[in-house]
Amino acid sequence: MILDSFKLTGKNALVTGSSRGLGAAIALALAEAGANVALHGSQEAPNADSVAATGVRHVELVADLRYPGRCPELIAQTVAALGSIDILVNNAGIIRRAPAVDFSEADWDEVLAADLTSVFRLSQSAGRHMLAQGSGKIVNIASLLSFQGGVRVPSYAAAKGGVAQLTKALANEWAERGVQVNAIAPGYMDTDNTEALRNDPVRSRQILERIPAARWGAPEDVAGAVVFLASPASNYINGHILAVDGGWLGR
């Protein structure tokens, strides 16, 4: 049956940045599909009640991914707690807004560390396990700014452009060894990252006028796409950047 290829029963997943927003919705969706889930927070352990209610095994982990050395530790903790890592969702990230001419070196370095370097280090560490077992799924959370430049977010745009290219680079190396690496580029989502835009009546109106779906996206809109890319149903998809944007890029 085709629906069986979307099941994740017995798979072990790590979702970074799963305290709230996209990450929380993704973690719950993977659990509902049958995967055991390691939830991650940068400063404190995520609330795991909704995941626990599905009956899967879970673990709550804390690591500040701005420090690259924490990435292999997080993978090791996941493997120790769940027994393996079959699915990695690189969702954690931060954003800083300022005009490019005023953008601080500290903000540039922080965003690149959290949004790009951590994606590579986590993928590298998880990839070693996945390549050894001959299977695995890595889903990176990219952005519309993987394709566009954005406004007043130079480090975020640079990082998300890098995530898209890194996704393709890893897929080129690992696809023939049973590891699929893909990415999702969410559109304008109702999350903490877009609060400033949603509270700006002019920018909010401009954004909504361009979205054919005529609404901001919800975290649940991304969750189904992640389950697909994490499941056997996507075994022949490699290095793809899937836009979940309400039609923004086609406008």
List the CATH number of the domain containing 183.
Answer: 3.40.50.720
218 DSSP assignment = -
pLDDT tens-digit profile, the chain (251 residues): 899 999 999 999 999 999 999 999 999 999 999 999 999 999 999 999 999 999 999 999 999 999 999 999 999 999 999 999 999 999 999 999 999 999 999 999 999 999 999 999 999 999 999 999 999 999 999 999 999 999 999 999 999 999 999 999 999 999 999 999 999 999 999 998 899 899 999 999 999 999 999 999 999 999 999 999 999 999 999 999 999 999 999 99
The phi-psi region of residue 136 (left if phi > 0; otherwise alpha if psi is between -120 and 50; otherwise beta) is left
**Gap between the terminal Cα atoms of the chain:** 36
CA 197 – CA 200 distance, rounded (Å): 5
CA 97 – CA 83 distance, rounded (Å): 40
Q: What pLDDT was estimated at residue 157?
A: 98
Strand partners, 90: 140
Q: What pLDDT was estimated at residue 128?
A: 98
Q: What pLDDT was estimated at residue 193?
A: 85
Please say whether the beta carbons of 155 and 113 come within 8 A.
no
CA 30 – CA 192 distance, rounded (Å): 22
CA 159 – CA 152 distance, rounded (Å): 14
Q: Is residue 248 part of a domain?
A: no
CA 71 – CA 179 distance, rounded (Å): 19
CA 228 – CA 206 distance, rounded (Å): 31
Q: Residue 35 sits in which domain range? A: 2-242
Please say whether the beta carbons of 89 and 13 come within 8 A.
yes
Q: What pLDDT was estimated at residue 143?
A: 98
3-state SS class at 45: coil
Closest CA to 225 of 93, 50, 122, 89: 89
Token representation of residue 239: 């290095």
Measure Cα distances from 18 to 21, 26, 193 in Å.
Answer: 7, 8, 14
Measure Cα distances from 56 to 14, 176, 228 in Å.
Answer: 13, 30, 19
Q: Is residue 250 part of a domain?
A: no
Q: What pLDDT was estimated at residue 1?
A: 87
pTM of the shown model:
0.97
Q: Is residue 247 part of a domain?
A: no
CA 229 – CA 220 distance, rounded (Å): 15
Q: Is residue 26 part of a domain?
A: yes
Q: Is residue 251 part of a domain?
A: no
Token representation of residue 24: 């929380």
Please list the active-site residues: 156
Q: Is residue 11 part of a domain?
A: yes
- Count structural domains, the chain: 1
The count of residues in the chain is 251
Q: Is residue 77 part of a domain?
A: yes
Q: Is residue 249 part of a domain?
A: no
